[in-house]
């Protein structure tokens, strides 16, 4: 008769909640990826934002319920026979960290939307604002709402790497490290990140990237299975609910406290109890730096700001006239693939007061750098403006080619990556002139560049 006793008893509710969390996070990731790639001017983007908030609310409710189950069920548990205690503790630590982030992120998302003055809705259901418009609230909540995704990804990646190590060394993988539903959640979180990164410039690489990700997992699993073939798997019957326990725990096999005394299984040592939370906090802290590393944004305003008597946040005076070429097929392609990212960080029209991480670019040509009213500039760009930097075709082209090289220390980045190609630069600048300069400052050239080249070839 086997002396092994289940040592991680969980209720039916917990097991179902884990799978629902994985399913909801998959839906949320898909909506988020599609929304991020949808033009801000299209009505579809607002609809997707509503579904983003709705699924986020579902995740909040599921995670809060799961935390309540956690408080009832997880205290006093021990790892199953044959499972390294440190390995088991890391899985619990990652799971708890993910659940806490899932509860926090939707609240931060609401603060971001209300801070910007958005009319939020959960799917088709309008959501009345509970707080007023505030740039400080928008910036703080938006930063940490964005960083929540980085935090979850890093925790999930940490779980996946430890699970791979456990499979190869001990024969225990992800579905021993975590309950099945949370293990699936980890795969969804990392897989969604792989897909999002692969499809930044277009959808074509998405499926091959996911195939490579799945293939790597399969190789590690197969290698672990071959290395440890013949070894009996640990008893994880405790992951499955049974009826007939004590009346106080109708969906449980045994109460947690009794379980601890009956099994006698060793718990994690002092070193593991310190290292697991420290490692999780380190990953969460690294994730909190994600928005800054990727977009050079901060959770609160900092830098030098130009103050004006009125409350405008754009240039009032036009400093130069510009020539604008007719739109070409190449320019349309650049607008669809690259220029759209400019409008994620900048507004371009006078009177547009929406909060953005970059300044309003209305009438930007001919202006001294670092002088849009009300915007907090890096010391480097403000100093460059005082030293004579003016935005022209040449300086803007050099800036988007490599912002850090042109103005070392600037907080400006190009979301799609530096743009060194002169033809792409020219297309972006032509679009920028059309979008940002008042009609009276535009001199329209009749012939598009590609048409002129075709004509010269014909001659």
Which range (86-100, 331-345, 443-457) has the least confidence?
A: 443-457
Looking at the predicted structure, is the pLDDT value of residue 2 above 80? no
pLDDT in tens, 331-354: 999 998 889 888 888 999 999 988
Percentage of the chain surpassing pLDDT 70?
86
- Provide the residue ranges of all domains of the chain, joining segments of one domain with +: 12-295, 312-458
Task: Give the domain 312-458 fold.
Answer: Cytochrome Bc1 Complex; Chain D, domain 2 (1.10.760)
* Residue 3 burial (CB count, 10 A): 7
Q: For the chain, how big is the Rg over CA atoms in Å?
A: 27
**pLDDT on residue 306:** 87
Looking at the predicted structure, is the pLDDT value of residue 456 above 80? no
**pLDDT on residue 42:** 82
Which range (92-96, 298-302, 363-367) has the least confidence?
A: 298-302
**pLDDT on residue 77:** 75
Which range (3-12, 427-436, 438-447) has the least confidence?
A: 3-12
**pLDDT on residue 5:** 37
**pLDDT on residue 245:** 40
**pLDDT on residue 203:** 86
The number of residues in the chain equals 459
**pLDDT on residue 455:** 39
Q: Are 164 and 173 in contact (CB under 8 A)?
A: yes
**pLDDT on residue 249:** 36
Looking at the predicted structure, is the pLDDT value of residue 6 above 80? no
Coil, strand or helix: which one is 376? strand
Looking at the predicted structure, is the pLDDT value of residue 370 above 60? yes
Looking at the predicted structure, is the pLDDT value of residue 439 above 50? yes
Question: Cα–Cα distance between 85 and 63 in angstroms, integer?
Answer: 25
Distance of CA 94 to the CA centre of its chain: 18
Which range (67-71, 280-284, 411-415) has the least confidence?
A: 411-415
**pLDDT on residue 231:** 63
Percentage of the chain surpassing pLDDT 90?
67
Q: Are 369 and 406 in contact (CB under 8 A)?
A: no
Question: Cα–Cα distance between 38 and 50 in angstroms, integer?
Answer: 14
Q: What is the mean predicted confidence (pLDDT) over 405-415?
A: 91
Region for 123 from its dihedrals, namely left if φ exceeds 0, alpha if ψ lies in -120 to 50, beta otherwise:
left
Band (pLDDT 50/70/90 cuts) for residue 232 is low
Looking at the predicted structure, is the pLDDT value of residue 172 above 50? yes
Q: What is the mean predicted confidence (pLDDT) over 278-290?
A: 97
């Amino acid at each position: 008769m086997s002396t092994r006793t289940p040592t991680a008893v969980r209720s039916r509710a917990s097991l179902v909640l884990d799978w629902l969390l994985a399913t909801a996070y998959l839906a949320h990731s898909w909506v988020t990826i599609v929304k991020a790639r949808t033009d801000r001017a299209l009505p579809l983007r607002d609809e997707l934002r509503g579904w983003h908030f709705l699924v986020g609310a579902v995740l909040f409710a599921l995670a809060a319920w799961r935390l309540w189950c956690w408080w009832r069920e997880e205290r006093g548990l021990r790892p199953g026979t044959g499972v390294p205690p440190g390995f088991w503790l890391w899985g619990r630590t990652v799971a708890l960290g993910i659940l806490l982030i899932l509860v926090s992120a939707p609240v931060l998302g609401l603060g971001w939307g209300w801070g910007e003055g958005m009319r939020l809705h959960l799917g088709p259901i309008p959501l009345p604002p509970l707080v007023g418009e505030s740039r400080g609230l928008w910036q703080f909540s938006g930063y940490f709402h964005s960083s929540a995704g980085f935090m979850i990804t890093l925790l999930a990646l940490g779980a996946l790497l430890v699970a791979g190590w456990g499979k190869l060394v001990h024969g225990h993988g992800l579905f021993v490290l975590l309950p099945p539903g949370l293990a699936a959640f980890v795969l969804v979180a990392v897989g969604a990140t792989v897909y999002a990164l692969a499809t930044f410039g277009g959808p074509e690489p998405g499926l091959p990237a996911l195939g490579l990700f799945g293939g790597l997992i399969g190789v590690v699993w197969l290698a672990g299975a071959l290395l440890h073939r013949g070894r009996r798997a640990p008893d994880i019957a405790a992951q499955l609910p049974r009826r007939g326990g004590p009346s106080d725990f109708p969906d449980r096999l045994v109460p947690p406290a009794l379980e601890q005394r009956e099994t006698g299984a060793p718990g994690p040592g002092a070193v593991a109890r310190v290292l697991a939370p420290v490692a999780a906090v380190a990953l969460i802290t690294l994730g909190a730096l994600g928005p800054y590393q990727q977009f050079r944004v901060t959770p609160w305003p900092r830098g030098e700001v130009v103050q004006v008597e009125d409350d405008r946040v754009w240039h009032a005076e036009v400093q130069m006239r510009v020539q604008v070429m007719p739109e070409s097929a190449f320019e349309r392609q650049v607008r669809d693939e690259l220029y759209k990212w400019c409008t994620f960080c900048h507004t371009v029209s006078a009177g547009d007061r929406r909060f953005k991480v970059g300044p309003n670019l209305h009438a930007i040509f001919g202006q001294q750098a670092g002088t849009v009213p009300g915007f907090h500039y890096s010391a480097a760009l403000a100093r460059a403006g005082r030293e004579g930097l003016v935005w022209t075709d040449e300086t803007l082209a050099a800036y988007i080619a490599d912002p850090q090289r042109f103005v070392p220390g600037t907080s400006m980045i190009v979301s799609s990556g530096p743009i060194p190609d002169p033809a792409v630069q020219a297309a972006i600048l032509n679009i920028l002139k059309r979008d940002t300069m008042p009609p009276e400052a535009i001199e329209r050239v009749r012939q598009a560049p590609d048409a002129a080249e075709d004509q010269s070839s014909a001659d």
